[in-house]
């Protein structure tokens, strides 16, 4: 089968599987790179051993996440397009270790946020902190997704193409209304000059206010950790932040104040 035909068939398959624009774009880009790469043989004739070696090269040149991204694409390609499932079903994704970092405390965040003069920047940061949404989810929020009557926001096509409702806090709604009156966005809640606001623009101003190592996903970490510290029900929190299982939240318990501060300590037996 010609490469152009394989690529077109791949696009048809992922469009039937996913609804997230970001996922479709990423998978299409990765598939194009793999399909049109200089392989020693045709795609149909490549072996399991070659595919493993190719993926190892991706991991060594790029990252574990790139390896897993390529693997997801290659599995769809061989399972659903080339009908050669046996070549890829034994290849497993690599589990990367999440690194612990020092999250900024709420006192410092409050001090910084209170001095932000730009209403749009302020509203975006408040939305992150109040809801814990991912940056891609925030950028996809349309004006009609904000339901002030029922005090909720519709998150369309979140991670894995799943949609969900999240709570809309009254203080956040007040902030969003102030922002709306000044900027008057037309379609998306947060817009730039050419339509939807960009990830790079958000991370740029976050680094300006919070420091060069800061990025949008840290605000999600801060939100989830705060909710855990305040004993929010795990199942409710899981649904709100769009995790597949409550086990995913366990990582955040390493930041929990409850696990760090306790009167129970063997040193009490010594002193």
Q: Annotate 215-232 with DSSP letters as a single string.
A: -HHHHHHHHHHHHHHTT-
- Give the C-alpha separation, 221 to 214, whole Å: 12
**44-50 contacts: CB < 8 A, separation 24 or more?**
44/1, 44/82, 44/84, 46/87, 47/87, 48/86, 48/87, 48/88, 48/90, 48/91
- Where are the domains positioned within the chain? 3-87, 106-260
The sign one gets for the Cα dihedral 237, 239, 242, 248 is positive
Which of 42, 13, 41, 38 is closest to 28 using CA atoms?
Answer: 13
- Give the C-alpha separation, 120 to 104, whole Å: 22
- Note the pLDDT of residue 225: 81
- Note the pLDDT of residue 203: 95
Q: What is the per-residue pLDDT across 142-192, written as a single tens digit (0 to 9) for each?
A: 999 999 999 999 988 766 667 888 889 999 999 999 999 999 999 999 998
- Note the pLDDT of residue 95: 82
Architecture of domain 3-87: Orthogonal Bundle (1.10)
- Note the pLDDT of residue 239: 64
First to last CA, the chain: 76
What is the maximal distance between C-alpha atoms in the chain? 77
Q: Are 172 and 127 in contact (CB under 8 A)?
A: yes
Query: Which residues of the chain carry a pLDDT beneath 70?
Result: 96-100, 158-161, 231-240, 242-271
pTM of full prediction above 0.95: no
Superfamily holding 106-260: Intergrase catalytic core (1.10.443.10)
- Give the C-alpha separation, 74 to 110, whole Å: 45
- Note the pLDDT of residue 182: 96
User: Is it true that 3-87 and 106-260 share their CATH fold?
Assistant: no
């Amino acid at each position: 089968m010609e490469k152009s035909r394989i690529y077109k068939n791949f696009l048809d398959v992922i469009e039937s599987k996913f609804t997230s624009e970001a996922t479709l774009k990423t998978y299409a880009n990765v598939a194009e790179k793999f399909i049109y790469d200089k392989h020693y043989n045709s795609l149909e004739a490549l072996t399991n051993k070659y595919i493993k070696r190719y993926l190892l090269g991706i991991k060594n040149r790029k990252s574990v996440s790139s390896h897993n991204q390529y693997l997801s694409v290659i599995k769809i390609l061989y399972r659903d397009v080339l009908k050669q499932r046996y070549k890829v079903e034994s290849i497993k994704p690599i589990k990367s270790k999440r690194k612990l970092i020092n999250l900024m405390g709420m006192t410092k965040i409050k001090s910084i946020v209170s001095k932000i003069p730009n209403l749009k920047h302020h509203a975006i940061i408040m939305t992150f902190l109040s809801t814990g949404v991912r940056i891609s989810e925030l950028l996809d929020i349309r004006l009609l997704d904000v339901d002030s009557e029922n005090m909720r926001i519709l998150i369309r096509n979140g991670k894995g193409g799943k949609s969900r409702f999240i709570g809309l806090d009254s203080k956040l709604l007040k902030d969003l209304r102030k922002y709306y009156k000044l900027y008057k966005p037309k379609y998306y809640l947060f817009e730039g000059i050419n339509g939807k606001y960009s990830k790079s623009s958000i991370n740029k101003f976050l680094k300006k206010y919070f420091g060069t190592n800061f990025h949008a996903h840290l605000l999600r970490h801060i939100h989830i950790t705060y909710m855990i510290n305040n004993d929010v029900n795990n199942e409710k929190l899981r649904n709100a932040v769009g995790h597949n299982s409550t086990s995913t939240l366990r990582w955040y318990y390493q930041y929990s104040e409850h696990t760090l501060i306790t009167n129970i300590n063997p040193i009490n037996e010594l002193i």
